[in-house]
Amino acid sequence: MTALLPVSLDLRRLPVAVAGHGEKALTRLAMIIEAGAIHPRVYAPDAPADFIARAEALGGVVVDRLPSDAELDDLRVLFVADLDVETARPLHDRAEAYKVLVNVEDVVPLCALQVPSVLRRGDLAIAISTAGASPSLAIAMKRELARLIGPEWAERTAAIRRLRMALRGAGTPPAAVKSATDEMIRRERWLPLGGAAPRSDETDTAATTPTDHPRRVKA
């Protein structure tokens, strides 16, 4: 079993780029733009005109070469796709020397950063990872979760954000904010059994439920 740490990166604050020119590189570009990256660079030496047009239409800035050391030093995250391993490995090594998190598509040993399959509903993001064991399984699970967790969850997440921000803006203590958001989840019946922690006034019934077995008594 491979233990990985799931994290969320704010790509509005972290410089990120893509290297490569093909369908997988375009998929990575679309992914990071959806996640907030603004006009990220796409390092694509000898890219065909069709790729350049599609990358620019998505919002990328195409550069007709691989990144220089100075550019790698400015990056924090790099996605590499559609490059042969002989090209990708030296790029990976140079990037890691500058402490860049690198993901080389389909080459797990060259991935300090692995990307889960993500289901988005507004600000709600559900990530499914198999630690590289089977991307197909992660995608299949995403499809199943999409059937169970529909578009309505975007507004639900926005509503609970508004409640939380209003309470925090009014100086409500953190414990009371949590109680209010838990109560909203219960009241709206968004999840089975309310989906939130038990209220503080709810007691453990196991301690008060009579046992099915008679007590032993000393003779």
Please tell me the distance from the alpha carbon of residue 71 to that of residue 92, in angstroms, as a whole number: 13
- 141 vs 6, 102, 106, 144, CA distance in Å? 17, 25, 19, 5
Nearest to 151 by CA among 196, 120, 193: 120
Q: What is the chain's pLDDT, residue by residue, as a tens digit (219 residues)?
A: 677 888 899 999 999 999 999 999 999 999 999 999 999 999 999 999 999 999 999 999 999 999 999 999 999 999 999 999 999 999 999 999 999 999 999 898 999 999 889 999 999 999 999 888 888 999 999 999 999 999 999 999 999 999 999 999 999 999 999 999 999 999 999 987 444 555 544 434 433 344 443 333 333
Q: Per the structure block, which two tokens stand in for 204? A: 């453990």
Instruction: Give the model's pLDDT for residue 79.
Output: 98
Residue 122: CB partners within 8 Å, gap ≥ 6?
Answer: 153, 154, 155, 157, 158
Question: What pairing do the DSSP bridges indicate for beta strands 124-128 and 117-121?
Answer: antiparallel
- Predicted local confidence at residue 152, as pLDDT: 96
Report the candidate in 42, 31, 40, 37 with the shortest Cα–Cα distance to residue 11.
37
**CATH 3.40.50.720 domain extents, the chain:** 16-115
| Number of neighbours of residue 158 by Cβ within 10 angstroms | 14
- pLDDT value, residue 3: 79
Q: Which CATH class is domain 16-115?
A: alpha beta
Tokens linked to 84: 């042969």
What local confidence, expressed as pLDDT, does residue 201 receive? 47
